[in-house]
Amino acid sequence: MRIAVVYRSKTGFTKKYAEWLAPELSADVFEASRCSVEKLTDYDMIIYGGGLYGGGINGVKMITRDLDKLQGKKIIVFATGASPVRKEVIEEIRNRNFYVEQQEQIPFFYLRGGFDYSKLNLKDKMMMVVLKIYLKRKKELTADDRGMLAAYENPVDFTRKEELEELIGYIKSAVDGSESL
């Protein structure tokens, strides 16, 4: 089975996971801007990863927009973000990024990444300043809010290779049962 790991990463957290994942699966790895959907049709399984920006998975439309061209392929998506891994976080991301029928077709995984304000481009920095102002004006801050505010000054990196275990297990079970692909 030919596997492609495709990612879009602005600050490096998603790239790190993609580069850890690819050798575990003997997969080819591509940065999304250097890969086309047409190229992906040569693969049996496509794993797409993107960082979260405003709740959206960076670049996931590369996959969701062209699902018809990828029929018969096993597609898996993962997202990375600074938020702790919690069921409600995962559900919110899934609902914001996939239609109901896509949710049924595309297994989704969330991996904790990190936040490094210094690595953002100017546009993203401006959006994050708006978030910072919003958080500072809140009357009561949650632990997540306080952590986010602290991360502006002190970058955080929650990436751990072990975070991939559930995703790799899922993929390997899909590969083992994929004689029909």
First to last CA, the chain: 8
For residue 180, name the pLDDT band (cuts at 50, 70, 90): very low
pLDDT confidence of residue 24: 93
Please report the pLDDT score of residue 131 as a whole number: 86
* pLDDT, position 177: 67
Average pLDDT over residues 98-123: 90
Structure tokens at 55: 């709740």
Q: Look at residue 178 in the predicted model and tell me its pLDDT.
A: 56
The model's pLDDT over 44-97, given as tens digits with 9 standing for 90+, comes to: 999 999 998 877 899 899 899 988 899 899 999 999 988 878 888 889 899 999
Question: Per-residue pLDDT tens for 137-171?
Answer: 999 998 888 888 888 888 889 999 999 999 999 99
The whole-number pLDDT of residue 159 equals 94
Of the spans 92-96, 107-111, 116-120, which averages the highest pLDDT?
A: 107-111
Q: pTM score > 0.85 for this model?
A: yes
> At residue 181, does pLDDT exceed 60?
no
Share of the chain above pLDDT 70, in %: 97
Give me the mean pLDDT over the 8-21 stretch: 94
**What is the overall mean pLDDT for the chain?**
89
How far is 178 from 1, CA to CA, in rounded Å?
8
The 3-state DSSP composition of the chain as helix, strand, coil percent (nearest 5) reads 50, 20, 30
The radius of gyration of the chain's CA atoms, rounded to the nearest angstrom, is 17
Whether the CB-CB separation of 70 and 40 falls below 8 Å is answered with: yes
Mean pLDDT of 100-124: 90
